[in-house]
Amino acid sequence: MPTKKKPQVTPSPERRRELLATAAEVFAAQGYNATTVRKIADAAGMLAGSLYYHFDSKESMIDEILSTFLTELWDGYDAVLAAGLGPRETIEALVTESFREIDRHRAAVAIYQKESRHLATQPRFQYLADSQQKFEKAWLGTLERGVADKTFRADLDIRLTYRFVRDTVWVAASWYRPGGQHSPEEIARQYLSMVLDGIALDT
C-alpha cells in the first residue's frame, strides 16, 4: 500500500485558470495577506471551501500565479538575449518585452512587485530569488557591455542605474491599465526615450 494517496479528483485546467485569474485580481488589489480565501470565493461566485476542490491551499494559488508568469517572462527574455543584439538594442528589446508582459500579466506583475521580496525567503519560493538573480545578470551585463563599447556613459554608477531602470519598468504595473490610452509599445518607446536621451533639451 502506498504511503499516501491524493483523493482521485480531476478538476478541469480551464476552470483552474479562470479561478487563478480572479484570484490574481484580488491579490493585486488588496495584497496577498489582506486577501482572505472568502474574498476570492466571493469574486468567483462560490464559497470558500469550494476553492479547495481546485487548489490545495491559498499559498499554492499565488505560487502558480507567480511561477507561470515568470516562465512566460523568461521565454521572452531568453529570446531577446539569444538574438545577439548590441547593448542599446538589447535594452530596448528588454524594456519593450517587459511592458508587453505587464500588459499580459498586469495582476501577476503587481503581486510580484509587492510580495516577492517577502516570499523569496521561503524555500517554496526559491525560484523567485533565482529569477531575480538571473534578471540582474541579464540587465547589468547588458549595461556593462554598453559602457565598454561606449554606447552608454561611463560616469554613472552602473548598479544604481540598473536599479533605477529595473524599478521604473516594473512599477508601471501599479498604474497601467490594459486598453488605456497608450499601448505597451508606446509606453516602452517613451520610457526608453527618457532613459536613453534624457528629458532635458540640449542647450
Partner DNA sequence: ATCCTTCCCTAACAAGTGTTTGGTAGGTTA
Partner DNA sequence: TAACCTACCAAACACTTGTTAGGGAAGGAT
Query: What is the smallest separation between the CB atom of 82 and a second copy, expressed in angstroms?
Result: 24
For DNA, the closer CB: 111 or 188: 111
Q: Site for a second copy (CB under 8 A): which residue of 30, 57, 122, 133? A: 30
Residue where the block lists cell 499554492: 60
Residue 82 touching a second copy (CB under 8 A): no
Is residue 157 near a second copy by the rule CB under 8 A?
Answer: yes
Q: For residue 21, which phi and psi values (nearest 5 degrees)? A: -65, -45
**Which range binds a second copy by CB under 8 A, 37-45, 63-71, 125-133, 154-162?**
154-162
Per CB under 8 A, which region of 1-9, 16-24, 58-66, 158-166 contacts a second copy? 158-166
179: left (phi over 0), alpha (psi -120 to 50) or beta: left
One character per residue 36-75, x = contact with DNA (rule: CB under 7 A): xxx--x---xxxxxxxxxx-xxxx----------------
20 binds DNA (CB under 7 A): no
Q: Is 187 exposed, middle or buried (0-12, 13-18, 19+ CB in 10 A)?
A: buried
Backbone angles phi, psi at 57, to 5 degrees: -170, 165
Rounded Cα distance, 37 and 41, in Å: 6
> What single-letter DSSP state applies at residue 14?
H
Determine, following the binding rule CB under 8 A, whether residue 148 of this chain makes contact with a second copy: no
CA distances to 4, 23, 64, 98, 164 from 91, rounded to whole Å, are 49, 33, 29, 10, 13
**Taking the complex as a whole, how short is the minimal distance between the CB of residue 114 and DNA, in angstroms?**
16
Q: Which of 11, 156, 178, 185 binds a second copy (CB under 8 A)?
A: 156
